[in-house]
Structure 1
Amino acid sequence: MNDSVRDGPSTHLVLIPSYNPGVKVDETVRSALAQWSPVWVVVDGSTDGSADRLLAMAAGDDRLHVVVLPRNVGKGAAVLSGIELAAAQGFTHVLTMDSDGQHPAHLIPEFMAASQAQPAAMVLGVPVFAADAPRLRVNGRKVSNGWADLETLWAGIGDSLFGFRVYPIAPLREVMAGQRWMRRFDFDPEAVVRMCWRGVKPINLPATVKYFRPDEGGVSHFNYLRDNLLLTWMHSRLFLGFVLRLPLLVARRLFQRP
């Protein structure tokens, strides 16, 4: 084992949902394993051959566990499958990261340490974009962030869409069990809003993000029309939930003031 690897406590693991990520997933998993153990990958019905490569990788490394779902069910559903299995094995926290190499594996120990220091909180990555990041993606997320701030009465969500974050498993399972949404691209923003509604404190840490061009092995499944419609529907539902919870949120905010 590489001496730089941080052996995680029996409570925290890295969870990587993966759908047709191309060759970048191999590098992503190796980078995560260089920082933390264990690492789990949930292959979400991929058809690009990555499942076979990951299973072969796991056969020679007991720090890596690969779960292969028979069909594509969406990011949120893949995460749910992972946390159900993790909870059954006694884990209490997961750090989620994308499989396409965009998220900073070198920050895994820092995020895990923040979670261990405040285990009741969720640790959220706030993306630091390079100059070559797509402007439409960078500016478009400001809309979702604005809605998330309103829906939580500015509870402190630094970024609602960035999926590099540490969740306490128990409240996340309860949130997802309570409704049928959060199973696809809507998972990340809806999860943080609903976790805030449950009183889970957000801790924000900066995290670099890298967008790869297709010639660099970059793969994107983001569809501007489909996924923005999904986000619009999600925030419509969340706003209704916000209105119903407004007295509770106001009371909580007043109670928390010095």
Structure 2
Amino acid sequence: MQESSRTHLVLIPSYNTGPKLFDTVREARARWSPVWVVVDGSTDGTGEALQQQAASDPGLRVWLLPRNQGKGAAVMHGLRAALAEGFTHVLTMDSDGQHPSDLIPAFMQASQARPDTMVLGRPVFDASAPLLRVRGRRVSNGWTQVETLFAGIGDSLYGFRVYPIAPLLRIMARQPWMRRFDFDTEAVVRLAWGGVKPINLDAPVKYLSVEEGGVSHFRYGRDNVLLTWMHTRLMVEFVLRLPALLWRRLRRAPPFQP
């Protein structure tokens, strides 16, 4: 059953995911309205075809960026447009079929009940998950726990999540990072620094084979270098922020009971 909202929308950044994009959008539209898609410089023709589809679907809107700028930049484009139209939250999901569209209503409901939080998907892997990817994200999650003083972030990389728009846009406008694959992790770290608490909900993740239409733009060397540089920056800033973070944590702690 489709649900609709004037405060919460589904935002799908997409880059050359082929026909799988249409499946993802169809499944998202079956469960939520509105759904917005930012096509990040794709050259596979999916953006133009999806725009034609949107012409007859008032719950679907599509932007075509002239060149590929990265996931974070595509999300930022959608965030600005959403804020300008009065929306307060976006649920981001990948266009490649990895994320569970059937859980969109549950994640939105959790956010609507606690709009001051970020609702984060905690991935549940099946046998299709590459072991190297699973082990690698454990390293990133470990660094994230340290950088946020163990604020309770279940997973730093899983992009199926609901963000509050205004604080995330303020964070992105202040610095030049978070525009590519580093977006998901840095977003939750900086939101946690700003006092936005996480809510973690389990969500399955699929790694589709080529025969199933799976497309991956992840590059182990390039993207792991990017993540390493990101965590290096965040750790340096974390050390500088540590006194303020500790003071905030102490102020919110309950009084000691002898």
Q: Provide the TM-score with structure 2 as the length reference.
A: 0.97
The percentage of counterpart residues that share the same residue type is 68
User: In the alignment, is the contact (CA less than 8 A) between 2:128 and 2:208 conserved in 1?
Assistant: no
Tell me the residue number matched to 1:227: 223
In 1, the alpha carbon distance for the partners of 2:14 and 2:187 equals 18
1:147 to 140, 143, 147: 143
Q: What secondary structure, in the 3-state scheme, does the structure 1 residue paired with 2:124 have?
A: strand
- Separation in 1 of the partners of 2:124 and 2:251? 33
Distance in 2, Cα, partners of 1:256 & 1:127 = 29
- What's 1:172 paired with? 168
**Which residue in the other structure is 1:112 paired with?**
108
SS at match of 2:162: strand
Give the whole-Å Cα distance in 2 for the aligned partners of 1:23 and 1:37.
21
Of 238, 245, 251, the residue aligned with 1:242 is: 238
Distance in 2 (alpha carbons) for counterparts of 1:53 and 1:204: 35
Cα distance in 1, alignment partners of residues 223 and 169 from structure 2? 23
Confirm whether residue 132 of structure 1 aligns to residue 158 of structure 2. no
Residue deviations 1:49-104 (CA, integer Å, cap 9, x gap): 11122112111211100011000000000000000011001111000000000000
Distance 1:217 1:52 in 2: 20
**Equivalences for residues 1-258 of structure 1 within 5 A:** 4-7=1-4, 9-258=5-254
Please say if residues 79 and 90 of structure 2, whose CA atoms lie closer than 8 Å, have aligned partners that are also in contact: yes
Q: Report runs of 4+ in structure 1 exceeding 4 Å deviation.
A: none
Q: CA deviation at 1:139?
A: 1.0
Can you list the C-alpha shifts for 1:181-218, whole angstroms capped at 9, x where unaligned? 00000000000000000000111000010010011100
SS at match of 2:23: helix
| Aligned mates of 1:68, 1:54 — CA distance in 2 | 10
For structure 1, list consecutive stretches of 5 or more residues without a partner in the other structure: none
Structure 2: distance between partners of 1:231 and 1:189: 9
Counterpart AA for 1:140: G
Q: In the TM superposition, what is the alpha-carbon distance from 1:255 to its structure 2 partner?
A: 2.2
Q: Size of the alignment, in residue pairs?
A: 254
Alignment partners' CA distance in 2, 1:169 and 1:67: 18
Amino acid at match of 1:24: K
Give the secondary-structure state (helix, strand or coil) at the position aligned to 1:127.
strand
Q: In the TM superposition, what whole-angstrom CA distance separates every residue of 1:141-194 from its partner, at most 9, and x where no partner exists?
A: 001000000001000110000000000000000000010000000000000000
Structure 1 position 28, deviation (Å) = 0.2
- C-alpha distance in 2, partners of 1:21/1:256? 45
CA offsets 1:216-236 (integer angstroms, 9 cap, x no match): 100000000000000000000
Give how far 1:132 is off: 2.1
| SS of equivalent residue, structure 1 residue 133 | coil
What do you get for the CA RMSD once the two structures are aligned? 0.7
* Alignment partners' CA distance in 2, 1:31 and 1:139: 30
Mapped partners of 2:93, 2:172: distance in 1: 18
For 2:48 and 2:148, how far apart are their aligned partners in 1?
42
- Per-residue CA deviation, residues 117-154 of structure 1 (Å, 9 max, x unaligned), is 01011000000011221111111100100000000100
